[in-house]
Amino acid sequence: MKKALFTLFLAGAAALLGASHAIACGTQDGYSYAGLASPSRAFGIGAAVTPVGSFNIVSGHVAGWVGVGGPGQGTNGTDEWLQVGFSGFPWATGSDLYYEVTLPNGQPAYHQIAADLPAGQTARFAVLEMHARPNWWRVWLNGSPASPPIYLAGSHDRWAPIATAESWDGGSGGACNGFLYRFDRVSIARAPGGGWHPLSGAEEISSTSTRVRRGNFASFMAAEGDDALRVLATASG
């Protein structure tokens, strides 16, 4: 698939996704994912992310983000992660910009950067370990710092970063939210503070109700919901 195809159908996708309806996810924890994971450890990850169309968020949330760490990946098997991206909720008409940090033995802390951004607006996100400061990280938005330095214990040279879309059913018992995100120029940092290279050899992250469509230039699209999947199928042509 050519990168240009990502742009050609955006307007039609926005109209179509507005009519999306929920389908059953069937996941035990109510989460579903669609994205790519680095095949090796790195010191950061970045991507230009675009929410395509108006999502159908029945319960819980949707998100498109880049990040490091995860459940059980902290010191002594604790939860520890840092992520930044777009999020959407049932009560919101647009998308939030946010970052979330979870420290060992702590709870996830959600930080809103901006609110109510329209569909089709792109932002460049990154999380990056700081130069000459092992285990200290920052969130970046459109090339500028968007968080204070964040200490993630034991994280230096340990994590394989990911770029993914996500849906949570809000405890509804399996209702899926419809989403379609575009990720362009996904790159990983090979050194603290930079050394950016396009993500290659990535491993796919998916759930039974989601799809990932890879493109050129380290890009992909992530979809869930009947109408979003139809848009994705059109994009593959």
State the Cα–Cα distance between residues 32 and 28, nearest whole angstrom: 10
CATH fit for domain 3-235, picks 3.40.50.720, 2.60.120.1270, 2.30.40.10, 3.40.605.10: 2.60.120.1270
Name the band, by pLDDT with cuts 50, 70 and 90, for residue 231: confident
pLDDT digits (tens, 9 = 90+) for 202-221: 999 999 889 999 999 999 99
Name the band, by pLDDT with cuts 50, 70 and 90, for residue 236: low
If you average pLDDT over residues 109-128, what whole number do you get? 96
For residue 138, count CB atoms less than 10 angstroms from its CB and return exposed for 0-12, middle for 13-18, buried for 19 or more. buried
24, pLDDT greater than 80: no
Which DSSP category does 120 fall into? T
3, pLDDT greater than 90: no
49, pLDDT greater than 60: yes
Mean pLDDT of the chain: 88
If you average pLDDT over residues 114-134, what whole number do you get? 97
